[in-house]
Structure 1
Amino acid sequence: MGCVQGIIKTSEGEPAAGLELTMTGGESDETTTTDENGRWSFSVSEAGSYTVAVTEESLPDGQFLKSKDPRTVDVKLHTVSAALFGLSDEPGQASPTTETDDSDSDSEGAEATPGANPNVVEGQPAPEAGGDGFSWPRFWQQLASGIRMGLLLSLGAVGLSLVYGTTGLSNFSHAEMLSMGGIFAFLFMQITGNLWLTGLIVVALMAGVGWLQDAVLWKPLRKKRLSLMQMMIVSIGFSIVLQNIFQFFFGANILRIDPSTPKTVRILGVTLTVQSYIAMGIALVLIIAVGLIMKYTRFGRATRAVADNRPLAEASGIDVQRVIRLVWVMGVALAGLSGMLIGLVLNGIAWNTGWHFLLLLFAAVILGGIGTAFGAIVGAMIIGIIVETANIWLPGDLKHAAALFILIVVLLVRPQGLFGRKERIG
């Protein structure tokens, strides 16, 4: 299945509800209307060229189409395409509104996932370019999006932080585990048709990938006593290899994990999809579970011991290699689930999705205090909220710069991060 969708606003910027749209192309001849958020969508079962038009008779009084020309969109299966219609309070035909097919701009925190326009998915008033001024409704909407992004980032950041804490490795290939999890979810969703079952399969597979990575690659490199710099370069090369594999088999298309049109729910003035609320709940439960495991279980105490003083942990009888292996299994499994949830929330996953999140993952880990699970979670929440709320005042292209600027300021005051420990040098 594919999808053509969009949002229509009046010239005053309010959602245009009740407009009638028609879509023709292939064997389709469908009609739909915009909802209370001005949102509309058509499902497409065959790839091809489709034409979407707004019925002028359904326009509100005093509103006119900026362009009466219909929009022609090339739709691919398992992708989200958009057709944009502008309204004006003055009659007359203007130049056609620019349309996008599957490379919409990002303004809600979707980390440049091509073809995944979260503003369209969430049914918000319109894609925001940033810098349009402050308003409380928009602030609460962006804050909710920031909390959502922070929770999903946390799942990926925990593994990255724990791997560094136990091995000292800055693993640049960790972000590709997000892409891999999303791709696995896309593949098994085609087979099972059940998101919950697909999620369990993804977690199990990614746990196996984590075990295999350490057994085949990282443990042999540790035994050969490669320096951390050499291992970091290996991780960069491994990341590039995985990206090319993903692109070779799946191309540059956006892979829609769930081809159905997401339903939106409005709570306290904030509009998010049902999938977003579920993803946030799952992430929150897992974050709490990770915190309890790290604090109260034998594995958690052993992990903290290895991170604090590896030679002393070995002398105390802790199986360091086993602890590291379990850290890899847990970290990669959480990253894979994070990739699946991100793909659902952003309505698509691509071969380079993880790469776009890499900088934010490292920023979260460093801000919270590298090597600590709790610090990674708090750092991810801060980064997610800053990225989204900064979009109120800044253009979308600069919102990541705002998060990194805050990171620099915090490190100037507290170099070890918010929850890191000071280390004596010399």
Structure 2
Amino acid sequence: MRRAVIMLTAFLACVMLSFGIGATSAWAEGEALQGTLKNGDAPVAGVKIKAFTQDGAPVGEAASDAQGKWSIPVPGPGTYRVDLDQTSLPAGVTLTNNRPSLTPQVADGQARNVLFPLGGAGGATGQNQPNAPKAPSELDRYADLLYSGLHFALIIALAALGVSLIFGTTGLTNFAHGELVTFGALITFLFNVTIGLPLVLSGLIAVVIGGLLGYTQDRAFWGWLRRRRTNMVTTMIISIGLSLAVRYIFLYFFGGETRAFAQYNGQPGHQYGPFLIAPKNLVCDVIAIVAIVAVSWALLGTRLGKATRAVADNPALAAASGINVDRIIRLVWTIGGALAALAGVLLGTYQNVGYQMGFQILLLVFAAVTLGGFGTAWGALVGSLVIGLFVQLSTLWIPSELKTVGALAVLIVILLFRPQGILGRRTRIG
């Protein structure tokens, strides 16, 4: 009976996948730059915004409407320069941070929010504003890319830590882990935007549900495959199919467009030396660091952590010494699901919510885990820092469209000289 249920599920997944492939191009929206201009709570209309590529080629222009909203479609993912024409500002309104030119990065399928904070000018008029926006200096550009690389690396590290723990205890390379990241963001969107709860509370609920989902799927699915001694290659292929099926379920219910949370999606940045950082990003950084340090400390300094490391080293010997291996593995799945959901919450705060946001970073997550050393918690963090920083800083020398390819090239080069990864241990085969 159970075999028949599995075959039926696989058949339905294939049918959904067939419909999903045809629907993706029809439902998914393209990339864009957008924003809302407000002076306090009052929208500012008629302000001209222009967008350019990194090479200075014009992409498009727009003017804010009666609600202060503007949007410029862009040809694809990459880094763009967005200029606000200060001469078009109404009398008495100025740009409070004195940065009329920004260089946001647009991810695949993302409508990136760009914020120009406005305020009263103390009687100054639009005619007294500079005639052309001041282009960001090279120092500003380096600082923005450095911080965005660190911020992105911490998000990748949360997901990579879960992948590393699951692989270390079960040997499974879980290609459906990206969907756990997306799940966390979508659950947060459900409670925050649809139901109307605060974003912080919605995020906490999503992390708890993500942990419960990790526990449930191992108890009901992966654990059953493990007891049947399904080989790792077959299990990995099953995870790929599960990833595809779940992704198109997300597409069916959520749609192909990217959406923002109800709070903190247009927060002005504060200047910290050369760094322009939104307070929400600093809070997200602290949350990610606390979560990573807490999990790493638990692995090293608690009895459950020691039991987890024993299961990772030798499951048979751990079972012989009285450790409940299945219970430890379910605990690891719970932690991995919660960390993935937390990564989804932070990623949604950083670049909005989309049905394939987890899939888009999955390759970088695997690269970080491989680079740091499979099965090591600190290795996942170190690998994530290398990948995150290289992905962002490489756009100084290569087109943004190739930044992921460049990160994978670095991965290949490093593994040629250190196959076990930066913090991994050599293992003898045969």
TM-score, normalised via structure 2 length? 0.73
SS in structure 2 at match of 1:53: coil
Asked if 1:285 corresponds to 2:290, the answer is: yes
What CA deviation, in whole Å up to 9, does each residue of 1:360-406 have, x standing for no partner? 00000000001111111111111111111111111110111121111
Asked if 1:183 corresponds to 2:203, the answer is: no
- 1:330 is matched with 335
Give the Å deviation of 1:324. Answer: 0.4
Which residue identity is paired with 1:219?
G
Give the Å deviation of 1:70. Answer: 5.5
- 2:404 is matched with 400
Q: 1:309 aligns with which of 310, 314, 328?
A: 314
- 1:18 is matched with none
Instruction: Please say which of residues 232-241 and 271-280 is displaced more in the overlay.
Output: 271-280
Gap regions ≥5 residues in structure 2: 1-31, 50-57, 74-80, 86-102, 118-134
Q: 1:136 aligns with which of 134, 139, 149?
A: 139
Asked if 1:411 corresponds to 2:415, the answer is: yes
Instruction: Please say which of residues 269-278 and 354-363 is displaced more in the overlay.
Output: 269-278
Which residue identity is paired with 1:330?
I
Matched-pair contact (CA < 8 Å) for 1:134–1:393: no
Give the Å deviation of 1:86. Answer: 6.1
**Separation of aligned partners in 2, 1:148 and 1:134:** 21
Give the Å deviation of 1:139. Answer: 1.4
Give the Å deviation of 1:55. Answer: 7.0
Asked if 1:115 corresponds to 2:111, the answer is: yes
**Separation of aligned partners in 1, 2:372 and 2:84:** 45
Matched-pair contact (CA < 8 Å) for 1:122–1:272: no
Matched-pair contact (CA < 8 Å) for 1:107–1:391: no
- 1:420 is matched with 424
**Separation of aligned partners in 1, 2:59 and 2:259:** 31
Pair 1:319–1:86, CA change in 2 (3 A) = closer
The 5-angstrom pairing of residues 362-381 of structure 1 reads 362-381=366-385
Matched-pair contact (CA < 8 Å) for 1:111–1:357: no
**Separation of aligned partners in 2, 1:72 and 1:32:** 10
Q: 1:213 aligns with which of 198, 214, 217?
A: 217
Instruction: Please say which of residues 356-365 and 385-394 is displaced more in the overlay.
Output: 385-394
Q: Once the two structures are aligned, what percentage of the paired residues are identical? A: 38
Matched-pair contact (CA < 8 Å) for 2:176–2:239: yes
**Whose helix proportion is higher, 1 or 2?**
2
Pair 1:394–1:107, CA change in 2 (3 A) = farther
Matched-pair contact (CA < 8 Å) for 2:164–2:377: yes
Pair 1:359–1:5, CA change in 2 (3 A) = closer
Pair 1:113–1:185, CA change in 2 (3 A) = farther
The 5-angstrom pairing of residues 20-419 of structure 1 reads 32=38, 53-54=46-47, 71=63, 81-82=71-72, 108=105, 111-116=107-112, 120=114, 135-190=138-193, 191-259=195-263, 260-346=265-351, 348-419=352-423
- 2:126 is matched with none
Give the Å deviation of 1:116. Answer: 3.1
**Separation of aligned partners in 2, 1:203 and 1:331:** 10
Give the Å deviation of 1:243. Answer: 0.5
Give the Å deviation of 1:87. Answer: 8.0
Give the Å deviation of 1:263. Answer: 2.5
Matched-pair contact (CA < 8 Å) for 1:169–1:232: yes
**Separation of aligned partners in 2, 1:180 and 1:86:** 35
**Separation of aligned partners in 2, 1:356 and 1:294:** 29
What CA deviation, in whole Å up to 9, does each residue of 1:197-233 have, x standing for no partner? 1121111111111111101110011111111000001
Pair 1:87–1:154, CA change in 2 (3 A) = closer
SS in structure 2 at match of 1:170: coil
Give the Å deviation of 1:255. Answer: 2.3
- 1:20 is matched with none
**Separation of aligned partners in 1, 2:207 and 2:254:** 21
Which residue identity is paired with 2:345?
M
Pair 1:161–1:218, CA change in 2 (3 A) = same
**Separation of aligned partners in 1, 2:383 and 2:308:** 20
Which residue identity is paired with 1:114?
Q
Give the Å deviation of 1:136. Answer: 2.8
**Separation of aligned partners in 1, 2:82 and 2:246:** 39
Give the Å deviation of 1:271. Answer: 1.1
Give the Å deviation of 1:167. Answer: 0.5
Give the Å deviation of 1:114. Answer: 2.1
**Separation of aligned partners in 2, 1:205 and 1:374:** 25
